[in-house]
Amino acid sequence: MKIEKLKTSKLFYNKWPYKVTCKLEHVSSVMSHRPRFSYGYYGRHKKISYDEQMALDAFKKAVTPLLKRDIKYRVENNYFNIFCSDKKILAQIDKRLNQWIEHIYGPTSDEELEYLTANGHKKRVCDKLPKDIYQYRVYFKHSMPDTTKENFLNWSLKYEGKLELSRSTKKWMAGDHHWFQGPFMYVKDGATLSMVGLFLAKNIKLVEEFVLRESINTPSE
């Protein structure tokens, strides 16, 4: 399997700059507490072959020593994701799990790694700004009162070009969506962000600032 190396824009879980994605059928069984099952049927409808069971045993043997290191793992369906912050641990993960790795996410330089580590979860590194102009992304709290949503939606129309709400967010603010996973908007600059802050006050959940990758990875003289 060819490993695809991808750029990361922020820390995973507000802590980890690196993510390794491994793919293996039935990999969720590796971390279960049930006893080892013989090949046959896994769960209700998923048939597992002898070769698949051997692959699971091999993966478990390879990954177990890594779980003692400073990492976080998350299993989703047939994907086993590992998060870490140390290059040496990343190299060990790559060496031990190479045959199962599909993607490796991480900063593109030491400068970028240092920047992400120092600035936490409120900065998002990118190659270009959203729509080429927006410097911030603002997430709203789901508890925002309906009257505030309606008033803010009407107010935002006066600042077209400086504010941009997603289509789903507009529906949520207009009352067409009773529940929406992540209502947000883009904001052009700091001055406009200050006005938004004054209007919404405690109804803002999170503000992310977009930072151009080229501004971090400046060549040394």
Measuring CA to CA, which residue among 121, 127, 115 is closest to residue 7?
Answer: 127
2-60 pLDDT, tens digit each = 788 999 999 999 999 999 999 999 898 887 644 343 334 444 446 778 888 899 999 99
155-200 pLDDT, tens digit each = 999 999 999 998 899 999 998 877 778 899 999 999 999 999 999 9
Task: Please say if the pLDDT value at position 105 is more than 50.
Answer: yes
Task: Please say if the pLDDT value at position 75 is more than 90.
Answer: yes
What per-residue confidence (pLDDT) applies to 219? 56
The ranges assigned to domains in the chain are: 4-119, 123-216
Q: Which residue has the tokens 């998350």?
A: 74
